[in-house]
Structure 1
Amino acid sequence: MKPLELMEQGRFLGEEFLLWLWMRSMTEGGASGEEGDGSGCFVDDAIQLTSERGEVKEISLRKGNPAESREAFESLGRGMRPSKMKLRILSGDLEWVFTLNAATLDMGTLKLPPSTGKAPHERLHDRIFLLEEGAGHLERRLKLFLRARAEDPDGMLEAMRGWVRVARSGEALANGEAPWEA
């Protein structure tokens, strides 16, 4: 089998991971759920949703807060899946912003926290450390997702479907109201 075919077959797992991150950012405050990890992961200002069926194959939501928009939840309710998402990870006073692709799970357009090094080699070491630290935060979440999915795949999928159903009514948001109902 060709590499692109293999990626396409495994894409569903990346889409579920993005949806799980989205759900946790709204229901768990973005916490990883791992002991000793005080970081938070949140959907930032861009989400791309795709579908194989229907007249609309792709929707890109940008600017503002697309993670809490009516359009995002209506798209999820119609069977669209997240294919790309801009995420923000916060840990203490450090912040990483990047785009995560569901098909390949690669991080693109990565913005690292600022380096504190003065000399060029110090800045290089800082940037490598910060890159590894940011990737580590994402990797811990992926491991947690895979562990939970392996233990109870049907339960996880039903929890995400239930979250989408409730979120479409606006009740799954932190304040209990949908922004479009204000």
Structure 2
Amino acid sequence: MTEHATSDGQRPANRGPRAAAGNRAALVTAAREIYAAHGLDAPLSAIARRAGVGQGVLYRHFPDRDAVAAAVLEENVRQIERAAAAEGATPGGVLGVLTWHLAQSAAFIGLLHADGTSGRFSAHAYARDLSERVERALRGCLPDGHRLTDDLMLAVAMVSGAVTGPTPGTREHRALAAWRLLGVTVGPVRPFEG
């Protein structure tokens, strides 16, 4: 059974124990939206409210703030992997998905720069693994001789360094400008839905 959002955009609370997977997905979506608007230090209560669940439900799925952020990052990486593995995937299309995540998530930018020595998530063993998964997904859709073959993650780091601004729209504009400066064509900037 699918719950529909109420007039104020929130999902109705108390969907029962059989709604666990839906609650988790709603929490990850809400966390991405809250983090994009207010940063990683936004109150967890705001995430629960946006998802239409109580804080107890949030803590049943995620024991702490880092676990919530990790779930958002994992979903970002999965979308990029799915986009790269999709039939007919193109480098521009996958870079469009990557760029959407860069514009939506400052934490995702930090992940791509994970080196094990600095940043909120670098202390976690998964940060390096997730960054390497992004690189493998991107490399998997590059044809031989593509201009990014040798310096792929350097280009991603350069673009992510340009992704600044108060809104996702501003950050997306700057990312696309950076890709253009590098001479790279990016497809539609959107999440992967498939």
TM-score by length of 2: 0.27
TM-score by length of 1: 0.28
The structure that is strand-richer by fraction is: 1
The structure that is helix-richer by fraction is: 2
